[in-house]
Structure 1
Amino acid sequence: MPKFILASASPARLRLLQNVGIDPIVLPSDFDESLVNVSDPKELVKILALRKGETVAAQQTEGLVLGCDSVLAIEGEIYGKPADASEAIARWQQMRGKVGELLTGHALIDLQQSKTLVRCQVSEVYFAEVSDRQIAAYVATGEPLKCAGCFALEGKGGLFVEKISGCHSNVIGLSLPLLRQMLDELGYDVTDFWHSQAT
C-alpha cells in the first residue's frame, strides 16, 4: 500500500484519521492561501485543497497525499479563521441563530498512478442563540481562533451548535465517507490503510 500523507497541520483532521485506523505521515503545506481569490465558496475550498496537496506532493516521489481546506459560508459570505478575538466575537454575534454551510475541499493525489481527485463536501450547521456572555467566554478559551468558521464542533463549540445536517466529520475538517469514496475511485480499499503505520 502507498504511504498516506496528510498535507495539513490540523490536529482535528489528524485525530479523525487516527480514530478510523489511518495513521498518516503529517507534512503540513506551506502554501500561501492569500494567493487564491475566489468568491464562490465551493470553488475556493477545492482550489485551496488542491494547492495545499500539490505543494506537499511536489516534494514526494510516492504515496497518497490528502490536502483539505474548510470555510464557513453564511448568507453567501465566506468565513475562514478569525484574525483575532474581537473578530471572533463579532462573527459569533452574526452567526448565532443562523444556519451556515461548512464546506470542505478534499484533494487526493495518487503519485503512483498520477491521478488527482478533487471533491467538496457541504454540511449545514445550525447555530444556537448564544448570549453575548457565552460568546465572550467561548472566544476567551482561544478555541475559535484556530478554526474555520470560528468554532470546533468536537470541542467547546459543540455546545453552541443545535444540529448538523449532512456529514458530521466534514464539519470537523474532513469528510470520512467522502474520503472512503475517493479511495474507492482510485482503486484502494480504506481498510487496507488500517495496517499501514507512519514511518
Structure 2
Amino acid sequence: MTTFVLASASPARLATLRSAGVEPVVIVSGVDESQLDGLPPAELALQLAELKCATVAAREDLPEDALVLGCDSVLELDGDALGKPDDADDAVRRWRAMRGRSGVLRTGHCLHDTATGKVVAATASTTVHFAEVTDEEIHAYVATGEPLWVAGAFTVDGLGGAFVREIEGDHHNVVGVSLPLLRELAAELGHSWTDLWSR
C-alpha cells in the first residue's frame, strides 16, 4: 500500500486531507522559504512546493512506495506575493490593504512518487473577495494570533472565515491544498485517488 507523505507542518492541510479520506505521514521539510523571495507569486508558490517536496523525498528513511506532497501558498495582491506576515503590525497593515478588495490565493503542489522517481507539479489559483472589515475587527482578529501563522494573514476555515465575502474557484485551495488538483496529479503518476483513501 502506498504511503502518503505530507511535507508540510500546516494543520489545515492535514485536516483537509484527513477529511478527504487520506491519512498522511507528516514530515516537515524545514525549508527556508525566504530563499526564493522576488519571484512572481505563482512561480514562488510552485518552486517552494517543489523544494519542500524534493527535500523530504530525498530522505533515506522514507518508504520505497511513498507519494510525497509538497505545498506552499501565497496571496497575490497588487502583483506581490504575501506569505505569512512578519508580525502583528504587518498583519494589520495587510488587512487594511486587503479589505473590500480581491486577491488570488496561489498554492503550488508537487507530488513525487518514490517508487518510480516521477514528479509532477502544478499551481492552483482561487480568487478571494474580502469583506469591508472595520479597524476594530482587524485588531480583534490579529489579536487572536490566527493570521500570524498563515499565508495572506487570513483563514477561510477558521476565525477569518467571516471576513471572506466570496470565493471563485476551489475552496480547498484557500485552505492550503486543492483536492481536485491533487487527484489529477496522482492520476498522472498512475495512482487512483480512491486507492489513497485510508481503510
RMSD value, Cα = 0.9
What is the letter of the counterpart of residue 53 of structure 1? C
Report the alpha carbon displacement of residue 195 of structure 1 after superposing the two structures with TM.
Answer: 2.9
Q: Which has the larger displacement, 70-79 or 55-64? A: 55-64
Give how far 1:32 is off.
1.2
The answer to whether structure 1 residue 115 and structure 2 residue 118 are counterparts is yes
What residue number does 2:94 align with?
Answer: 91
Counterpart-to-counterpart distance in 2, 1:171 and 1:191 = 23
2:42 maps to 42
Partner of 2:166: 163
Deviations 1:32-56 (A, max 9, x none): 1122134211111110000001111
Distance 2:195 2:115 in 1: 16
What's the offset of the Cα at 1:155?
0.3
Whole-Å Cα distance in 1 between the matches of residues 30 and 198 of structure 2? 29
Q: Indicate if the aligned counterparts of 2:40 and 2:80 stay in contact, CA closer than 8 A.
A: no
* Whole-angstrom distance in 1 between the partners of 2:63 and 2:187: 22
Amino acid at match of 2:114: L
AA aligned to 2:18 is Q
**3-state DSSP of counterpart to 1:17:** helix
- Structure 2: stretches of 5+ with no match in the other structure: none
Deviations 1:68-90 (A, max 9, x none): 00000111011000011111001
- Where structure 1 has 5 or more consecutive residues not aligned to the other structure, the ranges are none
1:150 equivalent to 2:150? Answer no
Q: Number of residues paired by the alignment?
A: 196
Does 1:177 pair with 2:180?
yes
3-state secondary structure, aligned to 1:122: strand
Q: In the aligned structure 2, how far is the partner of 1:195 from the partner of 1:24?
A: 9
User: What does 1:64-79 correspond to in 2, within 5 Å?
Assistant: 64-79=67-82
Shift of 1:61: 5.0
Q: TM-score, normalised by structure 1?
A: 0.96
Structure 1 runs, 4 residues or longer, greater than 3 Å off: none
* Secondary structure class of the residue paired with 2:106: strand
Secondary structure (helix, strand or coil) at the match of 1:16 reads helix
Residue in structure 2 matched with residue 103 of structure 1 by the alignment? 106
Aligned to 1:9: 9
* Residue identity opposite 1:165 in structure 2: E
